[in-house]
Amino acid sequence: AQKITQTQPGMFVQEKEAVTLDCTYDTSDQSYGLFWYKQPSSGEMIFLIYQGSYDEQNATEGRYSLNFQKARKSANLVISASQLGDSAMYFCAMTPSGGYQKVTFGTGTKLQVIP
Amino acid sequence: GAGVSQTPSNKVTEKGKYVELRCDPISGHTALYWYRQSLGQGPEFLIYFQGTGAADDSGLPNDRFFAVRPEGSVSTLKIQRTERGDSAVYLCASSRGGRGTTDTQYFGPGTRLTVL
């Protein structure tokens, strides 16, 4: 079984500052994928970034980067230069590799960007 | 290109009624997933289709829930004898599919189901 833990129910960040959203995971799989999704108040889940367990480099997508520390089983999301439109729920998620991709989600972190 | 679409966006029904929720995946995506998201929670897996067949329905809570994908494209989630506890947002996602790879799942806007 896979488990995702997000310990920050809510976070505030000043506009233009960077923010780190924490995520730890637990799995017995050797190969897996880690994701972050953004869910604005409209409700749609928006894919942000993906990290494979065997990827040596941390994933980056524009202002998003994933700080992957395999030994610690953590996959923190870093958002640089926060914008007001970044205010949303953020979900960390994972899937097993080598098979179908049933996604296991964390409970989410609500990020609010302050002008 | 068009993303995943879901209809209706909102559904209000009475306890005991039958409802159908529809999902139209991204064209060419062979894998389709249904999730349920309760208030304040992350989405929870319900069922996964690869093509027309349900490859994993282990997340369906009970036999009142059923889903089909008869032609390998559009899927319908069916809930019989609805209960107030079924109230949630039902999310559909699709991906390219294919074992041995990690696909990114793309989500639809969801259907908000309210059972009175």
pLDDT digits (tens, 9 = 90+) for A69-80: 999 999 999 999
Mean pLDDT (whole number) for B25-49: 93
Q: Look-up: residue for tokens 């009142």?
A: B64
pLDDT digits (tens, 9 = 90+) for A16-71: 999 999 999 999 888 899 999 999 998 889 999 999 998 889 999 999 999 999 99
Show residues of chain A in contact with B108, CB under 8 Å. 44
Q: How far is B38 from chain A, CA to nearest CA, in Å?
A: 11
Give the pLDDT score at A92. Answer: 97
Q: Does A98 touch chain B (CB under 8 A)?
A: yes
Tokens for A108? 């989410």
Amino acid at site B52: T
Cβ of A107 within 8 Å of Cβ of B41? The answer is yes
Q: Does B68 touch chain A (CB under 8 A)?
A: no
User: CA A44, A105, A21: angle at the middle one, nearest 5?
Assistant: 85
Show residues of chain A in contact with B105, CB under 8 Å. 47, 101, 103
Is pLDDT above 80 for A10?
Answer: yes
CA distance B100 to B58: 21
Cβ of A46 within 8 Å of Cβ of B105? The answer is no
Show residues of chain A in contact with B104, CB under 8 Å. 35, 47, 50
Is pLDDT above 70 for B99?
Answer: no
For chain B positions 73-112, those within 8 Å of chain A (CB to CB) are 89, 91, 93, 95, 99-110, 112
Show residues of chain B in contact with A44, CB under 8 Å. 107-110
Other beta carbons within 10 Å of A14: 11
Tokens for B114? 């309210």
Tokens for B73? 């494209």
Instruction: Give the residue from chain B lying closest to A6, CA to CA.
Output: B42
